[in-house]
């Protein structure tokens, strides 16, 4: 690499030392403050694993059961701890098994550094055993990637990897290191990367759009805030709260924004999107000023972009300039970090309140309660529903747990009915919708935030995509709580089949194993409930002990998630039932 592109801070104390590349990798990680690695060994990364043997006091390596498990665990770890998730894998199949997780991290802006072993440099391009062009394969799904073929390149590559992964809009970075680069020695010294001249992660805030935004907000009659994960990523929860409280503007969350602002706050009006709340969806098309903060107008949020907030003046606070005017045309673009932008904007706006307008949201809440929520959380039938479980779990845990979900109906039920009252308490695969995410991500989250109660909520389908990671709970005694909502269907697909494909349940029915016996074989205490009257006691015996626990609840087979904005349709055409 070209050192001229980096501003290198001179190492003050340490003299250099001659060590193999493999050990240099570990030293770099220690220098970056890493203490946990998720990984899986193999031929091409064996030198690194050999060095790891003598670094066990500094680096805690978690051996997953599949590389997909390792990377989802690293994602959960990163999102729960706010640190960079680190992942090791070997070349070929090891590296390709990371791709789903890398893609997931890219679309959900999760900082990861993935280190893959590669065949020796003289074998590159020869179709050698377990050689794959992981640089080529991962190019579209990494924030940056780089292949190291010389030991001396390692410190600078890893320094740059950490800097790029965590700065600005975070994302996954992959460093591919040939086996010979791991084996050869280098004169080691480390300097963290402070700057890459082609990369400017934090745009300077401009006064003019801030003033224009403040003017719109001060004159607005029906302003509306929609915040996303950008708030969490920039640590702007305090600034968001101040801004909302000063302006008195009703605020809704995106799926990934959940828990950036307490659901119990009087100005919180719910969450938007395909299965979001009625009010925030409908009012999107009635407000006069729409303030989007740290979100990217995903199509699951907007439905039909042509009608989305079309009547409103749109203000977009966003760090990534490429997201501005990408899906929705905005009137005022504030390109900057949410924390800084909100601080500055709060100074410029008037103290205000919009009681009548907020009341309109509450009116919508009453309609939603009547038409959709009541029958979901307090069902007439004998079978327990997913909505009911999440609702009761939310009450039981007082909205204080860290909830990790998979993908499907249970995910939407969790985001609808868990009443988050603690900052940074929701981790899900949002942009990519990766089934199999929950179990390993929940394990990673518990490792990243051991002081939190971490609950993974997963469907019977998604659980079986990565259930091998139960081995981690056993081997590393991870005190994570798993909740399987078993409907014996690929529920979300079944719901679409019911609503849009004439009830033709094509290959969505599942015959499942005995999850309780399965958990028992991993020494994980487990309990199955199918009777409503046992729920509360079940929660208690599942959640109260310190260690891990698995709770399987047999739920209504053909429950549907409502409200629903059919894919691509106008958000105000949301169906309540």
Ligand X SMILES: Cc1ncc(C[n+]2csc(CCOP(=O)(O)OP(=O)(O)O)c2C)c(N)n1
Give the one entry of other proteins, ligand X, none that residue 143 binds, where binding means its C-beta sits below a cut-off of 5 to 8 angstroms depending on kind.
Answer: other proteins
Tell how far CA 490 is from the center of its chain: 22
Find the catalytic residue in 17, 129, 219, 558: 129
- Residue 154, phi then psi, degrees to nearest 5: -60, -50
Instruction: Judge residue 367's burial from the number of C-beta atoms within 10 Å of its C-beta, 0-12 exposed, 13-18 middle, 19 or more buried.
Output: middle
Angle between helices 438-448 and 67-81 (to 10 degrees): 40
Give the one entry of ligand X, other proteins, none that residue 272 binds, where binding means its C-beta sits below a cut-off of 5 to 8 angstroms depending on kind.
Answer: none
Query: Kind of pairing, strands 17-20 and 185-188?
Result: antiparallel
Q: Which two tokens stand for residue 114?
A: 């993935």
Q: Of residues 309, 333, 458, 571, which one binds other proteins by CB under 8 A?
A: 333
Which residue carries 């409908």 as its tokens?
282
- 329 an active-site residue? no
User: Is residue 153 near ligand X by the rule CB under 6 A?
Assistant: no
By rule CB under 6 A, what count of residues binds ligand X?
A: 20
Helix (H), strand (E), coil (C) string for 66-110 = CHHHHHHHHHHHHHHHCCCEEEEECCCHHHHCCHHHHHHHHHCCC
Q: Of residues 117, 155, 462, 563, which one binds ligand X by CB under 6 A?
A: 462
Q: State the Cα–Cα distance between residues 255 and 227, nearest whole angstrom.
A: 10
- 130 an active-site residue? yes
- Smallest gap from Cβ 74 to other proteins, in A, equals 21
Region for 510 from its dihedrals, namely left if φ exceeds 0, alpha if ψ lies in -120 to 50, beta otherwise: beta
Give the one entry of ligand X, other proteins, none that residue 36 binds, where binding means its C-beta sits below a cut-off of 5 to 8 angstroms depending on kind.
Answer: none
Q: State the Cα–Cα distance between residues 146 and 167, nearest whole angstrom.
A: 17
Q: Of residues 367, 493, 499, 554, which one binds ligand X by CB under 6 A?
A: 493
* Cα dihedral across residues 198, 201, 204, 210: positive or negative: positive
Q: State the Cα–Cα distance between residues 122 and 46, nearest whole angstrom.
A: 18
- Smallest gap from Cβ 159 to other proteins, in A, equals 14
User: Is residue 4 near other proteins by the rule CB under 8 A?
Assistant: yes
- Contact region for ligand X (CB under 6 A) — 63-71, 145-153, 274-282, 427-435? 427-435
Q: Of residues 435, 445, 526, 529, which one binds ligand X by CB under 6 A?
A: 435
User: Is residue 499 near ligand X by the rule CB under 6 A?
Assistant: no
Give the one entry of ligand X, other proteins, none that residue 120 binds, where binding means its C-beta sits below a cut-off of 5 to 8 angstroms depending on kind.
Answer: none
Give the one entry of other proteins, ligand X, none that residue 433 binds, where binding means its C-beta sits below a cut-off of 5 to 8 angstroms depending on kind.
Answer: ligand X
* Cα dihedral across residues 276, 280, 285, 289: positive or negative: negative
User: Is residue 172 near ligand X by the rule CB under 6 A?
Assistant: no
User: Which of 86/458 has CB closer to ligand X?
Assistant: 458
- 67 an active-site residue? yes
Query: Kind of pairing, strands 36-39 and 85-89?
Result: parallel
- Contact (CB, 8 A) for 461 and 436: no
User: Is residue 138 near other proteins by the rule CB under 8 A?
Assistant: no
Give the one entry of other proteins, ligand X, none that residue 573 binds, where binding means its C-beta sits below a cut-off of 5 to 8 angstroms depending on kind.
Answer: none
Instruction: Judge residue 126's burial from the number of C-beta atoms within 10 Å of its C-beta, 0-12 exposed, 13-18 middle, 19 or more buried.
Output: exposed
Find the catalytic residue in 11, 46, 130, 468: 130
- Contact (CB, 8 A) for 115 and 178: no
- 351 an active-site residue? no
Find the catalytic residue in 27, 179, 222, 446: 179
- Smallest gap from Cβ 93 to other proteins, in A, equals 22
Distances (CA, A) of 492 to 32, 195, 196, 434, 460: 41, 45, 44, 13, 12
What percentage of the chain's residues is helix, strand, coil (to nearest 5)?
A: 40, 20, 40
- Smallest gap from Cβ 439 to ligand X, in A, equals 11
For residues 372-411, which are near ligand X according to CB under 6 A? 406-410
- Smallest gap from Cβ 525 to ligand X, in A, equals 23
Q: Of residues 58, 122, 139, 363, which one binds other proteins by CB under 8 A?
A: 139
Q: Of residues 459, 548, 549, 563, which one binds ligand X by CB under 6 A?
A: 459
Binding site for ligand X (CB under 6 A): 406-410, 433-436, 459-462, 485, 487, 489-493
Would you name the residues annotated as active-site residues? 67, 129-130, 179, 492
Residues in contact with other proteins by CB under 8 A are 2, 4-5, 135-136, 139-140, 143-144, 147, 164, 196-200, 202-204, 206, 320-322, 324-326, 330, 333, 335
């Amino acid at each position: 690499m070209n050192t001229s592109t980096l501003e290198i801070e001179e190492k003050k104390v340490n003299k250099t030392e001659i060590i193999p590349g493999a050990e240099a990798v570990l030293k770099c990680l220690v220098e970056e403050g890493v203490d946990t690695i998720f990984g899986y060994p193999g031929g091409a990364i064996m030198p690194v694993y050999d060095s790891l043997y003598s670094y066990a006091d500094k680096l805690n390596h978690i051996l997953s059961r599949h590389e997909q498990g390792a990377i989802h665990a690293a994602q959960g770890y990163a999102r729960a701890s706010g640190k960079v998730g680190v992942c090791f894998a070997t070349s070929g199949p090891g590296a390709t098994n990371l791709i789903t997780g890398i893609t997931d991290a890219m679309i959900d802006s999760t900082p990861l550094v993935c280190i893959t072993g590669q065949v020796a440099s003289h074998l590159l391009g020869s179709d050698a055993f377990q050689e794959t062009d992981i640089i080529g394969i991962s190019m579209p799904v990494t924030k940056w990637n780089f292949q190291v073929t010389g030991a001396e390149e390692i410190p600078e590559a890893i320094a740059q990897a950490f800097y790029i992964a965590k700065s600005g809009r975070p994302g996954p970075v992959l460093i591919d290191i040939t086996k010979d680069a791991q084996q050869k020695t280098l004169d080691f010294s480390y300097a963290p990367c402070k700057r890459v001249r082609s990369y400017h992660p934090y745009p300077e805030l401009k006064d003019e759009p801030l003033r224009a935004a403040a003017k719109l907000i001060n004159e607005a009659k029906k302003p509306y805030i929609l915040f996303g994960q950008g708030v969490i990523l920039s640590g702007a929860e305090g600034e968001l709260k101040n801004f909302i409280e000063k302006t008195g503007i009703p605020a809704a969350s995106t799926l990934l924004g959940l828990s950036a602002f307490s659901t119990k706050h009087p100005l919180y009006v719910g969450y938007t999107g395909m299965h979001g709340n009625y009010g925030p969806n409908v009012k999107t098309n009635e407000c006069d000023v729409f303030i989007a903060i740290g979100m990217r107008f995903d199509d699951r949020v907007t439905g039909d972009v042509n009608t989305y907030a079309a009547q409103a003046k749109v203000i977009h606070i966003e760090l990534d300039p490429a997201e501005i005017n990408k899906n929705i045309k905005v009137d005022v673009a504030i390109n900057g970090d949410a924390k800084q932008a909100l601080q500055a904007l709060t100074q410029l706006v008037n103290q205000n309140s919009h009681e009548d307008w907020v009341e309109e949201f509450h009116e919508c809440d009453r309609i939603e309660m009547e038409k959709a929520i009541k029958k979901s959380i307090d069902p007439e039938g004998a079978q327990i529903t997913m909505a009911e479980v999440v609702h009761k779990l939310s009450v039981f845990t007082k909205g204080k747990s860290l909830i990790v979900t998979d993908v499907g109906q249970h995910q939407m039920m969790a985001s609808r009915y868990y009443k988050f009252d603690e900052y940074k308490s929701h981790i899900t695969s949002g942009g990519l919708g990766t089934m199999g995410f929950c179990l390993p991500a929940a394990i990673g989250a518990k490792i990243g935030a051991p002081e939190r109660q971490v609950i993974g909520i997963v469907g019977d389908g998604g659980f079986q995509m990565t259930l091998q990671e139960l081995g981690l709970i056993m081997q590393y005694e991870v005190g994570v709580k798993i909740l399987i909502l078993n409907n014996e269907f690929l529920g979300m697909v079944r719901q679409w089949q019911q609503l849009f494909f004439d009830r033709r349940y094509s290959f969505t029915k599942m015959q499942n194993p005995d999850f309780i016996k399965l958990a028992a074989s991993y020494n994980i205490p487990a309990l199955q409930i199918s009777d409503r009257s046992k729920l509360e006691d079940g929660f208690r015996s599942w959640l109260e002990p310190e260690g891990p626990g698995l709770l399987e609840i047999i739920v209504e087979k053909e429950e549907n998630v409502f409200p629903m904005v059919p894919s691509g349709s106008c958000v105000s055409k949301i169906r309540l039932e």
